[in-house]
Amino acid sequence: MGEIFGYRDDREATSAAKVRALEALLIEKGVIGTDSVDTVLRHFETVAGPFNGAKIVARAWVDPEYRKRLVANTPGAIAELDLPAGMTGAEGEHMAAVINDEQVHNLIICTLCSCYPWPVLGLPPYWYKDPVFRARGVREPRAVLREFGVNVPDTKEVKVWDSSAQIRWFVIPERPANTEGMSEDELAALVTPESMMGVALVTAPLA
């Protein structure tokens, strides 16, 4: 993504290095064990992550009735799918989906801290927590989206949704053109966490 909000992409690598160093220190001091770390990692590799959200998006793309139920009762619609346990509880109790279409593009932020629907999107990226992103996302969402490479035409409305402890939003992005013959699994493979936050579009694979 180049440079966003004055931060270079390598900040994420720096943050990851700090996390590894902190993890090593906590293990050395006996605060946590390697088993605890492995358990958390397995959870986000197999139970809670963007692979869940991608399956939800793919089903919404191929099934208009499911898409309606997803908007009307997001937890209920999610429960219809064969997803890992843990779709409720911490960070996932009050999830709600919004739909991108020809008239509206949705953007997800959290103005207070970094509330995020972990079960369907995984762990939030570093820039999602940044106060500059949170403030500018409200004031000038179109400019922010342009910096992510998403140019929303003036004819399309941009709606900003503020996640909180009471409700955690995620986006059903627009289905890309020329994907009519793809299966649900193939469609799910196109979906990224960024597209479910509204800061990216889903693109079809090259022919």
CATH number at residue 141: 3.90.330.10
Q: End-to-end alpha-carbon separation of the chain, Å?
A: 25
Structural domain count of the chain: 2
Q: Are strands 3-4 and 7-8 parallel, antiparallel or unpaired?
A: antiparallel
Catalytic residues: 110, 113-115
Q: Is 163 annotated as a binding residue?
A: no
Q: Does residue 102 share a domain with residue 151?
A: yes
- pLDDT of 35 reads 57
Q: What is the pTM of this model?
A: 0.80
Structure tokens at 112: 């207070």
Q: Is 183 annotated as a binding residue?
A: no
Q: Does residue 58 share a domain with residue 34?
A: no
Residue 183 or 26, more confident:
183
Q: Does residue 34 share a domain with residue 100?
A: no
Q: Does residue 118 share a domain with residue 25?
A: no
- For 168, counting Cβ atoms within 10 Å of its Cβ (0-12 exposed, 13-18 middle, 19+ buried), the class is buried
Q: What are 97-155's pLDDT values in tens digits?
A: 999 999 999 999 999 888 888 889 988 888 999 999 999 999 999 999 999 999 999 99
Q: Are 53 and 118 in contact (CB under 8 A)?
A: no
Q: Does residue 127 share a domain with residue 31?
A: no
- pLDDT of 114 reads 83
Q: Does residue 115 share a domain with residue 32?
A: no
Q: Does residue 55 share a domain with residue 40?
A: no
Res. 13 pLDDT band, cuts 50 70 90:
low
SS3 64: helix
Q: Does residue 109 share a domain with residue 190?
A: yes
Q: Percent of the chain, pLDDT > 70?
A: 72
Q: Is 15 annotated as a binding residue?
A: no
SS3 70: helix
pLDDT at 6 > cutoff 90? no
Q: Does residue 99 share a domain with residue 201?
A: yes
Supply the range of the domain harboring residue 40.
Answer: 1-46
